[in-house]
Amino acid sequence: MNGMLGNDLGCSMKPLLEALRGGTPWPPPVWLMRQAGRYLPEYRALRTKAQSFIHFCLTPELAIEATLQPIRRFPLDAAILFADILLVPHALGQEVAFVANEGPKLVPIRDAAALARLSTASFAETLAPVMETIKGVRAELPDDVALIGFAGAPWTVATYMIEGEGGSDFENIRGVAYREPGFFAALLDRLVEATSAYLILQGDGGAEALQLFDSWAGVVPASLFESAVIAPTARIVGAVRAAHPEIPIIGFPRGAGSHLKTYVEQTGVDAVGIDFMTSLARVRNEVPESVALQGNLDPVLLRDGGAAMANETRGILASMHGHPFIFNLGHGVLQTTPPEHVAELLNLVQGARK
């Protein structure tokens, strides 16, 4: 684990939280998106114990173990709750299935009647196991490792809800957003409320930081970015902060590099995740000194390891020294990544000179 750094009050603070509060611990704290997952043999073994992926996420015994697996192997500065962004539509009553090798499939919601069938009646009950997972993980985490909770941002969750799958051409959601602005706004409203409630519950359970994944922010038409990304994110940040002012919030609008300055200024996030297509050095110049940046090694470099990974890692570190920073990938760990490359990367980051 990183050397502990004292804060101004003289008591120790977890490095991840120090960076999220505007501190500049160095070497920087590090965790990896999808650090729990199929690249780990112990994850693949664990996954066989649940019939469905949703059952896996909602069984605390299994989700706790999946969350902790990478922490047992590697000196990471944070664990991230093992869950999925589609638990929210599932808990609202939309049919969600995970099909092997095909990804998630949902019965699409494209009109007011389908939207009206969603219900919060069993929302908290359905998601209660997530709180159990958070409590269970907190009880087992080392003192200097922080626990990050998360949810999908409304635009990204809406893409799955409307398209019925991920990574499509997004022509259905764009059509609906333009043709039926009332319906689309109502769907985003439902997601703002549900996501805020879900993140507040995660904070109640003991999550120490929260990340909003807006994985498809890069395909939002320019004329919809304010209403579909900025405003819903700002409302969630406001609601969560009102309930848990102590919990920092990381936004990750993937692919929206040209909007980052506006995103940071107008959503109120404490930190922003940066994808690998975007230059950390450029964003550092665009955001206030207090806003932490998180990213952005290309996961292909982690998969391949070696000199190329080392060079890029050194470049990232050099560009971020002196600014609040959390080392991470610019997208999730690839399934084909050898676990020993993660150890190699952590050596590089945690060996960075002060």
- Which active-site residues does the annotation give? 34, 38, 47, 84, 160
Chain position carrying tokens 């439902």: 190
Distance CA 36, CA 2 (A): 20
Q: Interface with a copy of itself includes 318 (CB under 8 A)? A: no
Which residues pair with residue 271 across a beta bridge? 250, 292
What tokens were used for 226? 């304010």
Strand order, beta sheet including 292-297: 78-80, 146-152, 209-214, 249-253, 271-273, 292-297, 325-329
* 96, β-bridge pairs: 106
The secondary structure element, H or E, covering residue 26 is none
- Minimum CB distance to a copy of itself smaller for 110 or for 174: 174
Say how far apart CA 173 and CA 166 lie, in whole Å. Answer: 12
d(CA 99, CA 34): 19
Distance of closest approach, residue 254 Cβ to a copy of itself, in angstroms: 11
Nearer to a copy of itself, 132 or 304 (CB): 304
Residue 30 to residue 3: CA distance in whole angstroms: 13
Site string for a copy of itself, 218-247 (x = CB under 8 A): xxxxxx------------------------
Question: Residues 121-140 vs a copy of itself: string with x where CB under 8 A?
Answer: --------------------
Instruction: Please give the angle made by the CA atoms of 49, 52 and 55, to the nearest 5 degrees.
Output: 80
Applying CB under 8 A, among 179, 182, 288, 354 the residue interacting with a copy of itself is 179
The reply to whether 303 sits near a copy of itself by the rule CB under 8 A is: yes
Report DSSP state, residue 209. E
Check if the beta carbon of residue 1 is closer than 8 Å to that of residue 145: yes
Stretch that binds a copy of itself, among 73-81, 86-94, 200-208, 301-309 (CB under 8 A): 301-309
Choice from 93, 304, 321, 339 touching a copy of itself (CB under 8 A): 304
Q: Is 296 in the site for a copy of itself (CB under 8 A)?
A: yes
The reply to whether 166 sits near a copy of itself by the rule CB under 8 A is no
Q: Enumerate residues 13-42 that contact a copy of itself by CB under 8 A.
A: none
Options 14-22, 41-49, 136-144, 168-176: segment touching a copy of itself (CB under 8 A): 168-176
Three-state secondary structure readout of 231-277: HHHHHHHHHHHHHCCCCCEEEEECCCHHHHHHHHHHHCCCEEECCCC
d(CA 300, CA 278): 15
Q: Which is nearer to a copy of itself, 95 or 178 (CB)?
A: 178
For residues 125 and 171, which CB has a smaller minimum distance to a copy of itself in the complex? 171
Count interface residues toward a copy of itself (CB under 8 A). Answer: 33
Interface pattern 254-283 for a copy of itself (x via CB under 8 A): -x-xx-x---------------xxxxx-x-
Any residues with CB less than 8 A from the CB of 277 and at least 6 apart, and which? 255, 257, 330
Site for a copy of itself in 97-116 (CB under 8 A): none
Question: Which DSSP string corresponds to 121-140?
Answer: TTHHHHHHHHHHHHHHHHHH
Closer to a copy of itself at the Cβ: 123 or 276? 276
Q: Smallest gap, in angstroms, from Cβ of residue 177 to a copy of itself?
A: 9
Residues 2, 213, 298, 329: which binds a copy of itself (CB under 8 A)? Answer: 298
Residue 301 interacts with a copy of itself (CB under 8 A): yes or no: yes
Which residues of this chain interact with a copy of itself, rule CB under 8 A? 171, 174-175, 178-179, 218-223, 255, 257-258, 260, 276-280, 282, 296, 298, 300-301, 303-304, 306, 308, 312, 315, 330, 334
